[in-house]
Amino acid sequence: MDVEAIRAQIPLTKECIYLNTGGISPSLDPVTAVLVGEYQETAQHGPPLIMDYQRHAARLEEARQQLAAFCGVAAADLCLTHGVADGTTTVFNGIDWQAGDELILTDEEHPAVKMPAEHLAGSHGVQLHYLPISGGEAEILQRLEELITPRTRLLALSHVTTDTGTRLPARAIVELAHRRGVPVLYDGAQSLGQFPVDVSQLGADFYSLLVYKWMYGPYTAGALYVEKSWQERLRVVPSSANYFGSAGARRFEFSTVPPPYYFASAAATTYIQGLGVAQIEARTKTLAAGLRRALTAIPRLVIENPQDPEMCTGIVTFRVEGVEGPHISTELRARKIITRPTGLKFSGVRVSVAFFTTQAELDALVSAVGEIAAAAPRA
């Protein structure tokens, strides 16, 4: 992998040390070119939807097929969305919840999942239960087994958790849940593009994803996989003709889909496939593991990632005892090192190590964190 050639196509790398791909990825020139080109074509030749509908529709279908193939699912089972929250609320709203029904989340869920779940609790009397994410695979599965009851209607879990970057045993969780008759919805925001994901192999009933983190696509573009047997069972309030006029998962495309975003998403998918997702995973995990080792030399610093390397990803999360995470993140930003503070379970800092990240950048991060930790007053 020619990292310097890749960095030449990411203008932001000239401005700062960007370590927040897990929030929003930086833009790749080839992807930006497609997005800008689509709007330029519209300005010069009119809206493609109007001027050449057949070609426009065919291109959008090609983009859908490309993203579906990347995820290992059929295009007919994938609807285009505006991100994970869009897909999550579609699933939540499509289930006939009764007071006392139970929904299981992890204790690290992003607001895209947690807030709609809390709304269900308030509006329908759904009981929320949280799966603690700590320890190894066996411990997590045992806790989950104990949480599931006859009233459990759905598991809504992150494939990779947002703060500690824990890669859950996704296939094993689905098998456990299905044995108990419970469907599974995965939030794939932090997984797709970090490592190979085959949604069909996982066996999940729903998989909500986005392309503007580890896929390097345009902001707000996403998709939702709906397993065939659920496509007729989800009963949502229809807000577009698609619900009545489309077969498969496409019926769940309720709002206007911005085609340029999905054409650019296809370009991003092509780019990631060209690099090789397995190669991306190998590089980022190696860099991330080295960063964890280096950070542990800093006094009072605690790594908050899993102990099991197989459950680790390119997300490195740490806290410094006595120092608030937002303080560290703000001080890093002043040094043009962009990270994200965490606050779901502890006050720390999340670092997203990407394939374009260099060892020199990580060395600079470690040096800066050491200085900040030493100078900061204890909270």
Distance from the first to the final alpha carbon of the chain: 43
Least confident of 41-55, 92-106, 276-290, 319-333: 41-55
* Residue 378, pLDDT score: 67
* Residue 174, pLDDT score: 99
Domain closes at, from 237, 272, 307: 272
Residues 189 and 78 in one domain: yes
State whether residue 81 is helix, strand or coil: strand
Residue 100 lies in a domain: yes
Residues 238 and 290 in one domain: no
Residue 26 lies in a domain: no
Q: Which residue segment(s) compose the domain that 355 sits in?
A: 277-375
Residue 223 lies in a domain: yes
Query: Degrees (nearest 5) of the Cα angle 24, 21, 379?
Result: 95
* Residue 237, pLDDT score: 65
Any idea what the CATH number is for the domain that residue 311 is in?
3.90.1150.10
Residue 294 lies in a domain: yes
Residues 163 and 220 in one domain: yes
User: CA 138, CA 299: separation in Å to the nearest integer?
Assistant: 31
Using a pLDDT cut of 90, give the percent of the chain over it: 86
Q: Convert the pLDDT of each residue in 25-50 to its tens digit.
A: 999 999 999 999 999 999 999 988 88
User: CA 56, CA 61: separation in Å to the nearest integer?
Assistant: 9
User: CA 369, CA 354: separation in Å to the nearest integer?
Assistant: 19
Domain closes at, from 272, 295, 328: 272
Q: What total of structural domains would you count in the chain?
A: 2
Residues 287 and 311 in one domain: yes
Which pairs count as long-range contacts for 204-211, CB under 8 Å and 24+ apart, including other chains?
Answer: 204/170, 204/174, 205/230, 206/87, 206/91, 206/230, 207/71, 207/73, 207/159, 208/81, 208/84, 208/86, 208/87, 208/88, 208/91, 209/71, 209/84, 209/87, 210/83, 210/84, 211/67, 211/265, 211/268, 211/269
State whether residue 342 is helix, strand or coil: strand
Least confident of 83-92, 99-108, 138-147, 356-365: 83-92
Residue 347 lies in a domain: yes
Residues 234 and 310 in one domain: no
Residues 253 and 317 in one domain: no
Least confident of 29-33, 51-55, 135-139: 51-55
Residues 221 and 110 in one domain: yes
Any idea what the CATH number is for the domain that residue 63 is in?
3.40.640.10
Residue 15 lies in a domain: no
Residues 204 and 107 in one domain: yes
Residue 147 lies in a domain: yes
Residues 146 and 225 in one domain: yes
* Residue 238, pLDDT score: 60
Residues 262 and 299 in one domain: no
- State which amino acid sits at residue 305: N
* Residue 169, pLDDT score: 98
Query: Residues 71-100: what's their mean pLDDT?
Result: 95
Residues 256 and 293 in one domain: no
Average pLDDT, the chain: 94
Residues 188 and 313 in one domain: no
Domain closes at, from 248, 272, 296: 272
Q: Convert the pLDDT of each residue in 195-224 to its tens digit.
A: 999 999 999 999 999 999 999 999 989 999
